[in-house]
A and B are shown apart, each in its own frame.
Chain A
Amino acid sequence: MIRLAGAIGLLALISVPIWLGNSYYVNIASQILIWAVFALALNVLVGWAGFVSLGHAGLFGVACYTGALLIVAGWGHLAAAVAAIAVTLVASALFGVLSLRTSGIGFIMITLALGQILWGIAYRWIDLTNGDNGIILRARPQPFGVSLESPSAFYFFTLLVFLCTLASMAAFAKSPFGISLRGTRDQARRMTALGYHVWLIRFAAILFSGLFSGVAGLLFLYYHLYVSPHVLGLPGSAEVLLMVISGGSGTLLGPIVGAALVVVMKTVASAYIERWNLVLGAIFVAIVLFMPDGIVPGARRFWCWGRNSLRELIAAKGENLS
């Protein structure tokens, strides 16, 4: 059943440019996938490690800026991408060393501060980052000579990266390391007594999360061909956190659903509804009220409840007839 649903979902994703037709909507689909990669990266921390970060847009932005600066400096796209990921990992390591000194609200505040420091650097170090004007790129990369300039081509490129990310996350979730990470979230004391280095596991999780945040940042750069301090700001960190929480943290599907919800509201619904922010806020309130675990776990629960109720109804009718 799950495999069938997965195959249908994959077919639907592959055929998006066909059934959406309009390049505007194909571009929105690409944006959803980019944000889904970012949300999946943050989900490693929020869902599986139990640490809420409000500075992840900083890591996302580090990859954007490093990639943009190196490409503008004349580096090839591949070398720039590798260097951008490496720099993002270094930044993630710094995040980890500083933020893992605490947990809970302290962790949130430190990541928020680190994210804002990166935003401040991007905004004020004008000689390097061009300040508020940002950095513009001329063209998207051409992996193996394939142009990514058309919306469909870029969509398929993004889809490929998204599927690799999803496969990595799925493997990670059921691997010894993924299960150990969840163990540190639930029972850190017990895990220490069992011989696990809890700090190092969490640190490695931040690196893993930073790696895919960097990948998402590069996709964002290639999509927009532009980066500005706005990318690293607190609204970006809060938005991706909302995607994870609204979709369902600690699940694979949740961050993807959350990303789709927020991107569709921001891009599609905003064209028809002037106060789209209000609608999005109302949706979040409804999620908190009726599905506090998020859309995906909530929908699963409603599905089970509906199925069981139907079975009971059928059984009761059968008894009445007999």
Chain B
Amino acid sequence: MSVLDVRGVVKSFSGLEVIANLDFSVEAGERRLIIGPNGAGKTTLFNLITGEIAPDQGSVRLFGRDITRLPGWRRAHLGMTRTYQIITLFPDDSLLRNISLSLLGLMPLRWNPLIRLEKLEAITAAARDILTSVGLEHMENRPLRETAYGDQRRVEIGMALAQRPRLMLLDEPFAGLSVDERADIKELLKSIPPEVTIIMIEHDMDVALEFAERISLMHFGEMVFEGSRAEVVDHPRTREIYLGE
């Protein structure tokens, strides 16, 4: 059974078709890379999968369940998590608070208006464990806005991991990072348990090709080709789209 199965999805904005009858599926435990030039529809595809936007046609199935009309927040409760191309965290809050918010998202406790969050020791301890796993335990009380961009990216991945995901969607996790930071994030992604399925959008081929087992090439809202690293690199459409050959 596929972890994710997208069938015949169509999405238009003001008459402009950005996703055109797209089929896409990913198996459990896979590391899948989605590549394509700017405007290919990669982030729109992520938004359709997470429920931020609804498709005009087609269906999305997650773990065998039809989630096409399921609200985005409920998809998170099914085990789907995502990161964003542009980091959207909570800059005034500490790193610990950011991770705690992520943990709370799946708990009924999030509705409690009386208990102080800091008094919930189990959540604080779990958040500390997550920060340790992403190597940021030494700055747990620092406001996010006072941390380096690379560390913010770590926090974002930590927040995704805090949701105990079965499927992670990573939208350009290496964007804006220095060479050293890229190497750090690459190691961090490698440490994610193999049972977690990962789909990643990335432009940095050197880093991404090393990470992914299978690659999907998108162009003008269509899935042009799908195959192993070697197959995609050698495919004439890849050369045509990327090099204009």
Q: When A176-B117, A192-B52 are in contact, do A197 and B73 touch as well, CB less than 8 Å?
A: yes
Interface assignment of B138: CB less than 8 Å from any CB of chain A: no
Interface assignment of B109: CB less than 8 Å from any CB of chain A: yes
**Which chain A residues lie closer than 8 Å to B84 at the CB level?**
189-190
Pick the residue among A172, A177, A198, A204 that contacts B73 (CB under 8 A).
Answer: A198
B90-113: contact bitstring with A at CB < 8 Å (1 yes, 0 no)?
101000010001101110011111
Contact at A177–B112, with CB atoms within 8 Å? yes
Contact at A174–B112, with CB atoms within 8 Å? no
Q: How many Å from the CB of A48 to the closest CB on chain B?
A: 11
User: Which of B37-45, B74-82, B198-206 touches A?
Assistant: B74-82
A157-195: contact bitstring with B at CB < 8 Å (1 yes, 0 no)?
000000000000001101111111001001101111111
Q: How many Å from the CB of A229 to the closest CB on chain B?
A: 33
Interface assignment of A226: CB less than 8 Å from any CB of chain B: no
**Which chain B residues lie closer than 8 Å to A197 at the CB level?**
71, 73
**Which chain B residues lie closer than 8 Å to A204 at the CB level?**
111
**Which chain A residues lie closer than 8 Å to B101 at the CB level?**
179-180, 183, 191, 194
Contact at A176–B115, with CB atoms within 8 Å? yes
Interface assignment of A208: CB less than 8 Å from any CB of chain B: yes
Contact at A194–B76, with CB atoms within 8 Å? yes
Contact at B72–A178, with CB atoms within 8 Å? no
A218 to B90: give the CA distance in the assembly, Å. Answer: 38
Interface size on A, residues (CB 8 A): 24
A174 to B89: give the CA distance in the assembly, Å. Answer: 18
Interface assignment of A156: CB less than 8 Å from any CB of chain B: no
Interface assignment of A196: CB less than 8 Å from any CB of chain B: yes
A191 to B73: give the CA distance in the assembly, Å. Answer: 8
Q: How many Å from the CB of B172 to the closest CB on chain A?
A: 16
Q: When A179-B97, A186-B90, A190-B88 are in contact, do A196 and B116 touch as well, CB less than 8 Å?
A: no
Q: How many Å from the CB of A149 to the closest CB on chain B?
A: 35
Looking at A172, A180, A192, A193, which has the most chain B CB atoms within 10 Å of its CB? A193
**Which chain B residues lie closer than 8 Å to A178 at the CB level?**
113
Q: When A176-B117, A194-B76, A197-B71 are in contact, do A189 and B112 touch as well, CB less than 8 Å?
A: no
**Which chain B residues lie closer than 8 Å to A187 at the CB level?**
88-90
Chain A: which residue is nearest B123 at the CB level?
A: A176
Contact at B163–A175, with CB atoms within 8 Å? no
Chain B: which residue is nearest A179 at the CB level?
A: B117
A187-220: contact bitstring with B at CB < 8 Å (1 yes, 0 no)?
1011111111110000010001000000000000
Q: How many Å from the CB of A201 to the closest CB on chain B?
A: 8
A111 to B51: give the CA distance in the assembly, Å. Answer: 29
A108 to B213: give the CA distance in the assembly, Å. Answer: 51
A175 to B109: give the CA distance in the assembly, Å. Answer: 10
- CB-contacts of A1-34 with B (<8 A): none
Chain B: which residue is nearest A198 at the CB level?
A: B73
Pick the residue among A172, A189, A193 that contacts B81 (CB under 8 A).
Answer: A193
Contact at B113–A208, with CB atoms within 8 Å? yes
Pick the residue among B89, B114, B117 that contacts A190 (CB under 8 A).
Answer: B89
Contact at B76–A193, with CB atoms within 8 Å? yes
Q: When A177-B111, A180-B110, A189-B52 are in contact, do A195 and B117 touch as well, CB less than 8 Å?
A: no
B57-83: contact bitstring with A at CB < 8 Å (1 yes, 0 no)?
000000000000001111011000110
Pick the residue among B72, B77, B106, B114 that contacts A171 (CB under 8 A).
Answer: B114
Chain A: which residue is nearest B51 at the CB level?
A: A192
Pairs across A and B, CB under 8 Å, 17 listed: A171-B113, A171-B114, A172-B114, A174-B116, A176-B104, A176-B109, A176-B115, A176-B117, A177-B111, A179-B97, A180-B101, A190-B84, A192-B52, A192-B73, A193-B82, A194-B105, A196-B73
- 16 more contacts with CB within 8 A, not counting A175-B115, A175-B117, are A175-B112, A176-B112, A177-B111, A179-B104, A180-B110, A183-B101, A189-B52, A189-B84, A190-B84, A190-B89, A190-B90, A191-B105, A195-B73, A195-B74, A195-B106, A197-B71
